Structure 1
């Protein structure tokens, strides 16, 4: 949970750069390098801790909205949280208009974004994304198109930071 909360802090505090449009992205080739928004944080978890964070935030929101209601229902009672079972989970924490959100990612999507973040050329990032994947070759292009359309809409993709190219 702490890693998710810290990703939220970093997403809120980090810079914004001009995003590439989907039209700009479609002109790229396999040798192109991309960058990610500085505020985008990728988080790999062994448990779906985002479910736990969401439960706690919903409880907090309920308590805040009921703050003016006089009630004595044992408010100090332990919080009932959903059980967590080990299940790899991949998240992206990002900012939109001074609000921070997170979005679950598919493993391949996460790996591709991580490769882009780490400076890989586009073809290598796509290859890294599908490393060890169960997604068949015939369906991969559709996934890549869908992911890039989503990323462009969210403004996650930008030109690479010049320092990362040195």
Structure 2
């Protein structure tokens, strides 16, 4: 993201603070307008000539760049491991952890390690977690039992 004096083009296609089109303006005039309004002049793309630029309030340019980066990378999948015989307090801690991850915009993959005939208990545990996390996330896949583990992925709403 190129801002203010770092814009080297001689003229820019300018968009105002409220989204109004101000047309093609010399860069020096656009910078003067930005200083007068106490905002930043931000170049949105270098691929066209003249480059499109916007007048954006000071902190908003940085916030917009962060939002765009987050959208580009997509949600990460964070794994949380459990056992079928987890204590109630520990389960509550894991649930809160998953809730925070989902609110941050990332997906959660619950993996329950199973030994012997613990498959039913693991499935019941995951169904209970899905029910508790329904307000902040929706399951992407059903509960998958495979070999020594049961897993389910929850995506943020």
Q: TM-score w.r.t. structure 2 length? A: 0.22
Q: TM-score w.r.t. structure 1 length? A: 0.21
More strand by share: 2
Q: Which has the larger radius of gyration?
A: 2
More helix by share: 1
Which protein, 1 or 2, shows the higher relative CO under an 8 Å CA cutoff with sep ≥ 6?
Answer: 1
